[in-house]
Amino acid sequence: AQKVTQAQTEISVVEKEDVTLDCVYETRDTTYYLFWYKQPPSGELVFLIRRNSFDEQNEISGRYSWNFQKSTSSFNFTITASQVVDSAVYFCALTVYNQGGKLIFGQGTELSVKP
Amino acid sequence: KAGVTQTPRYLIKTRGQQVTLSCSPISGHRSVSWYQQTPGQGLQFLFEYFSETQRNKGNFPGRFSGRQFSNSRSEMNVSTLELGDSALYLCASSLTGEGYEQYFGPGTRLTVT
Protein backbone atom coordinates (compact mmCIF):
# COMPACT_ATOMS: atom_id res chain seq x y z
CA ALA A 1 0.00 0.00 0.00
CA GLN A 2 1.07 3.55 -0.59
CA LYS A 3 1.14 6.34 1.94
CA VAL A 4 2.05 10.03 2.06
CA THR A 5 2.90 11.78 5.31
CA GLN A 6 3.03 15.52 5.82
CA ALA A 7 3.98 15.81 9.46
CA GLN A 8 3.58 19.60 9.61
CA THR A 9 -0.09 20.38 10.07
CA GLU A 10 0.32 24.14 10.30
CA ILE A 11 3.20 26.52 9.68
CA SER A 12 3.18 30.23 10.33
CA VAL A 13 5.89 32.54 9.01
CA VAL A 14 6.42 36.23 8.50
CA GLU A 15 6.65 37.58 4.97
CA LYS A 16 10.07 37.20 3.31
CA GLU A 17 11.00 34.21 5.45
CA ASP A 18 11.98 30.97 3.71
CA VAL A 19 9.83 27.96 4.55
CA THR A 20 10.14 24.24 3.79
CA LEU A 21 7.19 21.89 3.65
CA ASP A 22 8.06 18.26 4.31
CA CYS A 23 6.68 15.24 2.49
CA VAL A 24 7.57 11.60 3.14
CA TYR A 25 6.12 8.84 1.00
CA GLU A 26 5.91 5.05 1.17
CA THR A 27 5.63 2.67 -1.74
CA ARG A 28 7.16 -0.62 -2.82
CA ASP A 29 6.73 0.20 -6.47
CA THR A 30 9.79 1.26 -8.42
CA THR A 31 7.83 3.42 -10.85
CA TYR A 32 5.85 6.15 -9.20
CA TYR A 33 5.02 9.83 -9.52
CA LEU A 34 5.01 12.59 -6.93
CA PHE A 35 3.08 15.83 -7.00
CA TRP A 36 2.56 19.02 -5.07
CA TYR A 37 -0.73 20.90 -5.12
CA LYS A 38 -1.76 24.21 -3.60
CA GLN A 39 -5.26 24.83 -2.26
CA PRO A 40 -5.88 28.54 -1.60
CA PRO A 41 -8.88 29.70 0.44
CA SER A 42 -10.98 29.67 -2.73
CA GLY A 43 -10.81 25.87 -2.56
CA GLU A 44 -9.57 24.89 -6.01
CA LEU A 45 -6.53 22.62 -6.07
CA VAL A 46 -3.74 24.05 -8.20
CA PHE A 47 -1.08 21.78 -9.70
CA LEU A 48 2.48 22.88 -8.90
CA ILE A 49 4.89 20.12 -9.90
CA ARG A 50 5.20 16.48 -11.00
CA ARG A 51 8.22 14.23 -10.55
CA ASN A 52 8.72 10.62 -11.62
CA SER A 53 10.75 8.13 -9.60
CA PHE A 54 13.58 8.05 -12.14
CA ASP A 55 14.24 11.76 -12.04
CA GLU A 56 15.88 12.87 -8.81
CA GLN A 57 16.96 16.20 -10.21
CA ASN A 58 15.91 19.08 -8.01
CA GLU A 59 13.81 21.77 -9.58
CA ILE A 60 13.51 25.50 -9.12
CA SER A 61 10.68 27.62 -10.43
CA GLY A 62 10.90 31.22 -9.34
CA ARG A 63 10.60 31.32 -5.56
CA TYR A 64 9.63 27.63 -5.44
CA SER A 65 12.05 24.72 -5.28
CA TRP A 66 11.67 21.01 -4.75
CA ASN A 67 14.11 18.50 -3.30
CA PHE A 68 13.49 14.86 -4.21
CA GLN A 69 15.55 12.26 -2.34
CA LYS A 70 14.78 8.60 -2.94
CA SER A 71 17.21 7.53 -0.22
CA THR A 72 14.99 9.13 2.42
CA SER A 73 11.68 8.81 0.47
CA SER A 74 11.18 12.53 0.71
CA PHE A 75 9.94 15.19 -1.67
CA ASN A 76 10.23 18.51 0.13
CA PHE A 77 9.02 21.88 -1.07
CA THR A 78 10.71 25.18 -0.25
CA ILE A 79 9.30 28.65 -0.74
CA THR A 80 11.93 31.36 -0.72
CA ALA A 81 11.06 34.86 0.43
CA SER A 82 7.48 33.92 1.23
CA GLN A 83 4.61 36.28 0.41
CA VAL A 84 1.12 36.67 1.82
CA VAL A 85 -0.27 35.22 -1.43
CA ASP A 86 1.50 31.96 -0.59
CA SER A 87 -0.93 31.40 2.27
CA ALA A 88 -2.76 28.17 1.44
CA VAL A 89 -2.94 24.48 2.21
CA TYR A 90 -0.28 22.52 0.37
CA PHE A 91 -0.71 18.85 -0.48
CA CYS A 92 1.85 16.29 -1.47
CA ALA A 93 0.51 13.34 -3.48
CA LEU A 94 1.67 10.03 -4.89
CA THR A 95 0.53 7.68 -7.61
CA VAL A 96 2.14 4.49 -8.82
CA TYR A 97 2.43 2.90 -12.21
CA ASN A 98 -0.69 0.94 -13.21
CA GLN A 99 -2.82 2.77 -10.69
CA GLY A 100 -4.09 5.12 -13.35
CA GLY A 101 -5.42 8.36 -12.04
CA LYS A 102 -5.48 7.42 -8.38
CA LEU A 103 -3.70 10.03 -6.28
CA ILE A 104 -2.86 9.30 -2.65
CA PHE A 105 -2.72 12.59 -0.77
CA GLY A 106 -1.00 13.60 2.42
CA GLN A 107 -3.04 15.37 5.07
CA GLY A 108 -1.81 18.76 3.90
CA THR A 109 0.17 21.56 5.50
CA GLU A 110 -1.58 24.85 6.15
CA LEU A 111 0.84 27.68 5.53
CA SER A 112 0.06 31.11 6.90
CA VAL A 113 2.27 33.98 5.79
CA LYS A 114 1.80 37.11 7.86
CA PRO A 115 2.74 40.58 6.65
CA LYS B 1 -8.10 26.10 -22.88
CA ALA B 2 -11.06 26.03 -20.54
CA GLY B 3 -10.42 24.36 -17.21
CA VAL B 4 -12.33 21.59 -15.50
CA THR B 5 -15.89 22.59 -14.73
CA GLN B 6 -18.20 21.10 -12.15
CA THR B 7 -21.89 21.58 -11.61
CA PRO B 8 -23.59 22.38 -9.41
CA ARG B 9 -21.20 24.29 -7.16
CA TYR B 10 -23.38 23.98 -4.07
CA LEU B 11 -26.03 21.49 -3.12
CA ILE B 12 -28.17 20.89 -0.06
CA LYS B 13 -29.90 17.54 0.24
CA THR B 14 -31.78 15.60 2.88
CA ARG B 15 -30.77 12.24 4.31
CA GLY B 16 -32.02 9.38 2.17
CA GLN B 17 -32.11 11.37 -1.05
CA GLN B 18 -29.79 10.81 -3.97
CA VAL B 19 -27.61 13.28 -5.84
CA THR B 20 -25.82 13.50 -9.18
CA LEU B 21 -22.76 15.66 -9.71
CA SER B 22 -21.35 16.54 -13.09
CA CYS B 23 -17.83 17.15 -14.35
CA SER B 24 -16.56 18.39 -17.71
CA PRO B 25 -12.85 17.73 -18.22
CA ILE B 26 -10.30 19.80 -20.07
CA SER B 27 -10.65 19.30 -23.81
CA GLY B 28 -8.55 16.34 -24.92
CA HIS B 29 -8.29 14.80 -21.47
CA ARG B 30 -9.61 11.26 -21.34
CA SER B 31 -9.15 10.42 -17.67
CA VAL B 32 -11.48 11.76 -15.00
CA SER B 33 -10.98 11.10 -11.29
CA TRP B 34 -13.23 11.96 -8.38
CA TYR B 35 -12.19 12.80 -4.83
CA GLN B 36 -13.99 13.51 -1.58
CA GLN B 37 -12.53 16.14 0.75
CA THR B 38 -13.58 16.39 4.39
CA PRO B 39 -11.89 18.04 7.39
CA GLY B 40 -11.53 14.71 9.16
CA GLN B 41 -10.45 12.38 6.36
CA GLY B 42 -8.74 14.81 4.03
CA LEU B 43 -8.64 14.10 0.30
CA GLN B 44 -9.77 10.59 -0.58
CA PHE B 45 -9.92 8.96 -3.98
CA LEU B 46 -13.36 7.77 -5.07
CA PHE B 47 -12.87 6.40 -8.58
CA GLU B 48 -11.32 7.05 -11.96
CA TYR B 49 -12.79 6.69 -15.43
CA PHE B 50 -10.90 6.33 -18.66
CA SER B 51 -12.53 5.77 -22.05
CA GLU B 52 -15.93 5.24 -20.42
CA THR B 53 -14.59 2.47 -18.16
CA GLN B 54 -13.98 2.57 -14.45
CA ARG B 55 -10.27 1.90 -14.13
CA ASN B 56 -9.71 2.37 -10.40
CA LYS B 57 -11.93 2.48 -7.37
CA GLY B 58 -11.31 3.72 -3.83
CA ASN B 59 -12.69 2.35 -0.58
CA PHE B 60 -16.17 3.78 -0.64
CA PRO B 61 -19.48 1.95 -0.30
CA GLY B 62 -21.52 0.98 -3.34
CA ARG B 63 -23.79 3.98 -2.77
CA PHE B 64 -21.11 5.95 -4.60
CA SER B 65 -21.08 5.31 -8.32
CA GLY B 66 -20.06 7.08 -11.46
CA ARG B 67 -19.93 6.94 -15.20
CA GLN B 68 -18.17 8.56 -18.11
CA PHE B 69 -19.63 9.47 -21.44
CA SER B 70 -18.08 9.24 -24.90
CA ASN B 71 -17.13 12.93 -24.77
CA SER B 72 -15.21 12.24 -21.51
CA ARG B 73 -17.70 14.13 -19.37
CA SER B 74 -18.35 12.32 -16.13
CA GLU B 75 -21.03 12.10 -13.49
CA MET B 76 -20.97 10.71 -10.01
CA ASN B 77 -24.02 9.60 -8.08
CA VAL B 78 -24.55 9.12 -4.39
CA SER B 79 -27.67 7.26 -3.37
CA THR B 80 -29.32 7.11 0.05
CA LEU B 81 -27.40 10.10 1.35
CA GLU B 82 -26.04 10.06 4.88
CA LEU B 83 -24.95 13.00 7.04
CA GLY B 84 -21.36 11.83 6.68
CA ASP B 85 -21.52 12.37 2.92
CA SER B 86 -21.35 16.11 3.47
CA ALA B 87 -18.11 17.10 1.79
CA LEU B 88 -16.42 18.91 -1.06
CA TYR B 89 -16.42 16.64 -4.12
CA LEU B 90 -13.60 17.35 -6.50
CA CYS B 91 -13.25 16.21 -10.06
CA ALA B 92 -9.89 16.11 -11.82
CA SER B 93 -8.91 15.42 -15.40
CA SER B 94 -5.67 14.37 -17.02
CA LEU B 95 -4.51 13.29 -20.46
CA THR B 96 -4.49 9.58 -19.72
CA GLY B 97 -4.28 9.45 -15.94
CA GLU B 98 -1.21 7.22 -16.01
CA GLY B 99 1.21 9.34 -14.00
CA TYR B 100 0.15 12.55 -15.70
CA GLU B 101 -0.69 15.55 -13.59
CA GLN B 102 -4.35 16.02 -12.77
CA TYR B 103 -6.12 19.33 -13.07
CA PHE B 104 -8.90 19.94 -10.60
CA GLY B 105 -12.24 21.65 -10.89
CA PRO B 106 -13.64 24.05 -8.28
CA GLY B 107 -15.62 21.28 -6.61
CA THR B 108 -19.20 20.73 -5.55
CA ARG B 109 -19.96 21.49 -1.91
CA LEU B 110 -22.59 18.95 -0.78
CA THR B 111 -24.40 19.46 2.49
CA VAL B 112 -26.64 16.68 3.77
CA THR B 113 -29.18 17.64 6.46
Q: What percentage of chain A's residues is helix, strand, coil (to nearest 5)?
A: 5, 55, 40
When pLDDT is averaged across residues B27-42 and rounded to a whole number, the result is 96
Judge whether A97 and A80 are in contact, CB under 8 Å: no
CA distance A39 to B51: 28
- Mutation to test the B interface, candidates A45, A48, A91, A105, most B Cβ within 10 Å: A45
Beta bridge partners of B88: B37, B109
CA distance B13 to B113: 6
Q: Which residue in A has a C-alpha nearest to residue B102's C-alpha?
A: A47
pLDDT at B76 over 90: yes
Judge whether A99 and B33 are in contact, CB under 8 Å: no
Using a CB-CB cut-off of 8 Å, the residues of chain A touching B106 are 42-44
At residue A59, φ and ψ (nearest 5 deg) are -130, 145
Q: Which residue in A has a C-alpha nearest to residue B93's C-alpha?
A: A101
Q: In percent, how much of chain B has pLDDT > 90?
A: 94
Q: What is the CA radius of gyration of chain A?
A: 14
CA distance A36 to A94: 9
pLDDT at B1 over 80: no
∠ CA A9-A15-A19, nearest 5°, is: 45
pLDDT band at A97 (very low <50, low <70, confident <90, very high): confident
CA distance B46 to A43: 18
For residue B15, give the amino acid letter.
R
